[in-house]
Structure 1
Amino acid sequence: MKDWWQATFPKGRQSLVISDVHGYPVQIAYGEIGTGRPLFLLHGMGSWSYNWRYTIAPLSKHFRVICFDAKGFGFSDKPWLRREKNGHQVIELERIVQALCDEPAIIVGESIGALISLALAQKNPQLVGRLVVINAPIFTERLPHWAMEILAQTPIEVLQAIDDLRLAYLFAPLVREVMAIERRKVLFDPSILTQEDVYWITYPFIELPGTLVKVAEELQIAAKEIKHWQANKPNMLTQIQEDLDRINCPTLILWGDRDSWFPATHGERLHKLIPSSQFQILDNCCHDASTGAAKVVNQSILKFLQGTNFL
């Protein structure tokens, strides 16, 4: 099967080295295509750049599209020997944007990528010219999926042993089948998920050791955040919620009307709290909007950027 990076980007998969939140060098995998204003695409939990496969080409006709795998995901480094700090994703996103462009960027984030984008717009507003958030877990009260709950409760040492034994590789057909079933549940039309899609979506878990451990580590951070929120203890989620009125760049909020993970009422609430925001419901769309409603998502992004003089 042809390498997805090579087939999608003129220079294929490129590498960028940044300092992570611990101060250690970490290699970030990314691809870019097109010219014009920089537009970054941020994937969700357990995903990687492939999730934007239907968005990259259409937007690259108008922008310099930059698609990267967050640390620990996809083809980026997965440091095993140090535990992550809460909020590290925001700091690392900031450093990636600063390294790859020298002007305010368009940031498009889905799911956890949307939450990180909101935090960046609060922390370093001069980096963000326009913001698009899709199905963000901004008001979530629990991890939305049973598999996430299991990973969040499993000791990292156990998952490390699974990775070391390459069990995902040994049971690749089963891993692909289970993940395909679960991915189809977040699509309004499950039939659009092809066998090639399943191959690439599961590729990091099967072929790149460390992926399972890093995803679980992020889920454990998220579970702790939610627990602290419920107990009224200091947490980053509450801080992001309380500072939403500090986001002053034009913002587009897109939300699937059938999102069973984070209901559309969360999007309406988010819209009321961000002064310069627009809100749009995506009809017949579940949580995976970048796959299940790609055409409408792309059109909405372009219309928003044109209407705010960024196209």
Structure 2
Amino acid sequence: MALAEIPLCVWRKRSQSFVFRGQTLRYWTAGQGEPLLLIHGFPTASWDWHYLWQPLAQRYRVIACDMLGFGDSAKPANHEYSLLEQADLQQALLAHLNIEQPVHVMAHDYGDSVAQELLARHYESRAQIASCVFLNGGLFPETHRPVLMQKLLLSPLGWMIGRAFSRDGLVKSFRQIFGPQTRPSESEMDDFWSLVESHRGPRIMHKLIAYIPERREQRDRWVTAMQRNDVPLRVIDGEVDPISGAHMVERYRELIPDADTVLLPGIGHYPQIEAPCQVLKHYLSFRDQLLFPPRKVACS
């Protein structure tokens, strides 16, 4: 059965705001129970989670924000954007909501890197993470395959490329990374573009893309944290994603002990949009395993 969408106009009306280091950020929260932090990817926003929002809110207290430089949050032009600062932002939001208990995390794309930073901080006693699920993202710089637009934004002409970025450019990029049978409709593309364009977003895209070299800088620290194996982890990954698909999952299985991975056939880079029912099923089964781990039978 298909999950009901939340139209972007409705989603926006439900937002709240808080101030982080002088900048106004938009956030959403719903439900009760254990806190579940949802962290979106590049270049989109928290609306990416709208299909999963209500089903998850029936079981957990779900929390999401448009990170600095994304969606309807502030997009300051004279700012050096950093994944580490975005992790600070997530922790500030949890503090704003008076959440002191360990949080569960589900992240996607750029958000995977923010989640990796939070996981590293957990082992440094600077955050409390109960579990983490990664959707398609560049968990390992050596397996990340950026699309042409990302390469251009990283170039010396990135500032000009960003300013010229248009809805057509977004459509071309999304055609490359979505599954062949699960591409967004024209209406969905209008909504994605509305979030990118909000607050003159294209003019800072070359600054946001600095996350790619930053991932390389933090790679060993983040991978070491994932290898600790004390916090339960799962990867739910769209198999045909050219950026972070099956090849990334293969590397994950090589590097992470007892790797818990799910590959979604025919699905691309945005599984929570392309196959939300499957993502929900595999996420809830992961959480159920935390409550009711498989029994180990002793043999004599």
TM-score range, shorter chain: 0.7 to 0.9
Matched residue SS, 1:243 = helix
Counterpart CA distance in 2 for 1:88 and 1:200 is 27
Matched residue SS, 2:291 = coil
Residue 42, structure 1, aligned to residue 44, structure 2: no
Out of 237, 240, 263, the position equivalent to 1:281 is 263
Out of 202, 205, 221, the position equivalent to 2:196 is 205
Partner of 1:134: 135
* Structure 2 unaligned regions, length at least 5: 1-5, 293-300
Once the two structures are superposed, residues 172-208 of structure 1 have per-residue CA deviations (whole angstroms, 9 ceiling, x without a partner) of: xxx3333223223322245551222111100133342
Out of 148, 151, 156, the position equivalent to 2:150 is 148
Counterpart CA distance in 1 for 2:180 and 2:50 is 17
Number of equivalenced pairs: 282
**Contact in 2 for aligned 1:251/1:276 (Cα 8 Å):** no
Partner of 2:63: 66
**Contact in 2 for aligned 1:122/1:243 (Cα 8 Å):** yes
Residue 113, structure 1, aligned to residue 111, structure 2: yes
Paired letter, 1:44: G
Matched residue SS, 1:131 = strand
Out of 4, 7, 11, the position equivalent to 2:10 is 7
Out of 265, 277, 298, the position equivalent to 1:295 is 277
**Contact in 2 for aligned 1:248/1:274 (Cα 8 Å):** no
* Structure 1 unaligned regions, length at least 5: 19-23, 169-174, 230-234
Structure-2 change in CA distance of 1:84 and 1:112 (3 Å): closer
Out of 204, 207, 228, the position equivalent to 1:214 is 204
**Contact in 1 for aligned 2:245/2:268 (Cα 8 Å):** no
Counterpart CA distance in 2 for 1:140 and 1:75 is 29
Structure-2 change in CA distance of 1:215 and 1:309 (3 Å): farther
Partner of 2:102: 104
Paired letter, 2:264: L
| Worse-superposed segment, 79-88 or 295-304 | 79-88
Counterpart CA distance in 1 for 2:203 and 2:76 is 10
Stretches (4+) displaced over 6 A: none
Identity among equivalent positions (%) equals 21
In the TM superposition, residue 56 of structure 1 has moved relative to its aligned partner by: 0.9
Equivalent residue runs for 1:135-284 within 5 Å: 135-141=136-142, 144-155=146-157, 158=160, 162=163, 175-190=166-181, 192-209=183-200, 211-222=201-212, 224-225=213-214, 229=216, 235-271=217-253, 273-275=255-257, 277-284=259-266
Paired letter, 2:137: A
Paired letter, 1:304: F
Partner of 2:295: none
Structure-2 change in CA distance of 1:156 and 1:183 (3 Å): closer
Matched residue SS, 2:81 = coil
| Worse-superposed segment, 260-269 or 299-308 | 260-269
Partner of 1:124: 122
Counterpart CA distance in 2 for 1:121 and 1:191 is 31
Once the two structures are superposed, residues 52-87 of structure 1 have per-residue CA deviations (whole angstroms, 9 ceiling, x without a partner) of: 121112211111111211111001111222323463
Partner of 2:298: none
In the TM superposition, residue 35 of structure 1 has moved relative to its aligned partner by: 1.6
**Contact in 2 for aligned 1:156/1:213 (Cα 8 Å):** no
**Contact in 1 for aligned 2:52/2:272 (Cα 8 Å):** yes
